[in-house]
Amino acid sequence: MQFEGAVIKEQGQTFAVVIVKPHVLQSSATCENTRNGFSRHFPGMPIILMAQNSRGVPTYHGRTDIAKFLAKLHPSQIPWKRYTV
């Protein structure tokens, strides 16, 4: 399995951001299941899910303070990495 994600350290907090398909963010249960699935790859870190619409505009789902921080960034400012697991 491959996925795009990033680990970010900001203001003393380390968290992960993972790119998902837009339909994942349409259900709280799906978000939680997806986050739980990625938790083994990012142990002990809050996980934020990110999806982009057809125009490339990102939406973040997860801890509110982190999601608000990420919303202020352009996606190109996030240090994305392809993970193979």
HEC readout, the chain: CEEEEEEEEECCEEEEEEECCHHHHHCHHHHHHHHHHHCCCCCCCCEEEEEECCCCCEEEECCHHHHHHHHCCCHHHCCCEEEEC
Write down the pLDDT at residue 83. 96
Q: State the residue for tokens 């963010």.
A: 25
8 Å CB contact between 54 and 61: no
| CATH code where residue 60 lies | 3.40.1350
Domain with 46, as residue range(s), is 2-84
Cα 24 from Cα 76, distance rounded (Å):
22
Q: What is the pTM of this model?
A: 0.94
Q: How many domains does the chain have?
A: 1
Percent of the chain with pLDDT over 90: 95
Write down the pLDDT at residue 11. 86
